[in-house]
Amino acid sequence: MIINVDNIEKINKNRLKIERVLKLKITIKEKEVTIEGKAEDEYIGEKVINALDFDFPLDVALMIKKDDFLFETLNVKDFTRRKDLETVRARIIGTGGKTLRTLNNLTECYFELKDNEVGIIGSPENIKGAQDAVVSIIQGAKQSNVYSYLEKHRVQPVVDLGLKEPKKKGKKYKE
């Protein structure tokens, strides 16, 4: 599988760790990253590499594999007709990054902005609320109204019915 990326330095710097954690073979040629491995490992590897290219930190990007998180992107242009996208991006970030930090705390998801796209990494239960919150802010809703909605509609922890294998404790990935 071949992936075109912009942030090749970050992927090249962390290539060995990514290969070890995801059980993949990664080849880098200019702005193309080739990954080889099992189909499901390649799928997760593609998501992790896209998240790194989106400028997420390595440990957050690897949560896609470790914690069964999802990586989703939203294009700001899909949700607004405004031409001044700098203002829309500023609303998403907030003063000193306060809006993004608050969204992170309320949704338990991680956010990054790249050009006119918002990247979100989070659990399947939380990602829908995070997407809805970002879309509401893009469309002009007051941040306080979005926060209040998220607080009222917090996702309750999922009860384990014993269907998922228990996570192995004590195993940590080395830097």
**Residue 158: predicted pLDDT:** 64
**Residue 104: predicted pLDDT:** 92
Backbone angles phi, psi at 160, to 5 degrees: -80, 120
Phi-psi region at 136: left, alpha or beta (left = phi > 0; alpha = psi -120 to 50): alpha
> DSSP secondary-structure letter at 95?
G
The pTM assigned to this predicted structure is 0.80
pLDDT of the chain along its 175 residues, tens only? 888 787 788 888 888 888 888 888 888 888 888 888 888 888 888 898 888 888 899 899 899 888 788 999 999 999 988 888 899 899 999 899 999 999 999 999 999 998 889 999 999 888 999 999 999 999 988 988 989 988 888 777 666 666 666 666 555 545 4
Handedness of CA 162, 165, 167, 169 (dihedral sign): positive
Domains of the chain with CATH codes: 2-66 (no CATH), 70-152 (3.30.1370.10)
